[in-house]
Structure 1
């Protein structure tokens, strides 16, 4: 991740939106957004453009990209970088004849990225047009409670002293407090077998409803969360559904009168397994 210090605010906010800044600079942008109305206005326009481009990209693909595919690509790339570059009989690749490579996938990927970027630019320009003289209207995709959860997680995962409202040492109060506040009965999941340490809890508002947030930390200091709220009742339990919000992965499901989601880094290969454990113990 490279610093954008000294670059125009639009560039810095775009990198912030994509999660491509060092942690210290992300905190700096947080402060700018909290204090500068003009910066917040630019950020909202960039966010609209990003959402517009994402919708265009999703329509082209016609189906979401599984989180497993994203993780496999990253793992394969890391393995390729670490592997010794040897050819037949241990001959260095540089000394071996270059194999012909298919040009389809690089071209397809470039085309996809071009469409995605064009959509983002179009969204930004459309938002600019709306601020001036054109009556053009764009129907934004409706936000869900998972969008709110992803926004919360992006903020709280960077906290240190103020990660939680109630610490893990007060587990009985956490269960009583969040059950009463959300209307969802639950058991506090023990995820030590998944190498996650319980840090404590918060009460949020997502989708206009009181929402519980249980926070855990792994050995690499990454933050994972379990969030839930009351929802329209379903019979039994639904299957786990994976989704992504930039660098954040979410695995959600419903059970009875509640909706649940496990949140963490999208590249973590254990996210779905953690969600499976939580769905059977919470």
Structure 2
């Protein structure tokens, strides 16, 4: 098997995972993966995350929306959104790029981040539609919120200042995480656009930024000094990158 004459692009790797690659190009991609171990490892990690998403969401894809999740007469969309998302490119990853972070220990990251990212997206989905009670502690009590979450989580937790991206802190809450308590912050733009930041312990060292998408929602996730971060919001990668860069800069300075 030899390398294809035309180099394989990242879009083609995603299409290969999603079974959307033209048949005449599939052999080239498989030949490329056979001689490019880094890309082959990335493809394996994407498949692992996709399998985890299937396992968690396939069984509830057609369930009706519970009455308790209908907020002030505003019913959430039927869960059939999960079907299309899982069937087509549930997970796509981007490495560094515009954010400029290098990977360390990436081979160990997928298993650690599968649970972390799924939990963060679950929390984002649950609370982003709330009108009256999206958070436990309001953003006007930022100092108290940070002290409380830091004490409960056992490490320094800070709510980043995201005014530069047009986002104001709505507030935050304490959530269960895969390895102990997790901090959860919500931000909102003047137009009503909402982002959430989920912070929890992670069994990994520093790792590159990765992107995961589930139809209407996107997430960028990374780890630094044993703490994992998941920024969730709209699927626009550029917008997520803009916000994530500011979050990363501030959490790095705070020392995790």
TM range (shorter): 0.5 to 0.7
Output aligned runs, 1:118-267, within 5 Å: 144-207=115-178, 209-234=180-205, 237-267=206-236
Answering whether residue 25 of structure 2 is matched by residue 25 of structure 1, we say no
Aligned-partner SS, 2:126: helix
Which has the higher Rg, Structure 1 or Structure 2?
1
Q: Once the two structures are superposed, what CA deviation does each residue of 1:245-281 show, in whole Å capped at 9, x if it has no partner?
A: 2311110110102001111011364111111110110
Ranges of 4+ aligned residues in structure 1 off by more than 6 Å: none
- Residue deviations 1:26-67 (CA, integer Å, cap 9, x gap): 18x7xxxxxxxxxxxxx7xx89x949x937x56xxxx95468
Higher relative contact order (CA 8 A, sep 6+): 2
Residue by residue over 1:114-140, the C-alpha shift from the partner in whole angstroms, topping out at 9 and shown as x without a partner, is: xxxxxxxxxxxxxxxxxxxxxxxxxxx
Displacement, 1:201? 0.5
Unaligned runs of 5+ in 2: 1-60, 95-112, 252-256
The one-character-per-residue Cα deviations of 1:44-98 (angstroms, maximum 9, x if unpaired) are: xx89x949x937x56xxxx95468xxxxxxxxxxxxxxxxxxxxxxxxxxxxxxx
d(CA) in 2 for partners of 1:143 and 1:231? 11
Post-superposition CA distance 1:176-224 (Å, at most 9, x none): 1111111231332111010001111111113253110011001210211
Structure with the higher fraction of residues in helix conformation = 1
Residue in 2 aligned with 1:274?
Answer: 243
User: What root-mean-square deviation, in Å, do the aligned CA atoms of Structure 1 and Structure 2 show?
Assistant: 3.6
How many matched pairs?
170
Check whether the contact 2:86–2:214 (CA below 8 A) recurs between aligned residues.
Answer: no
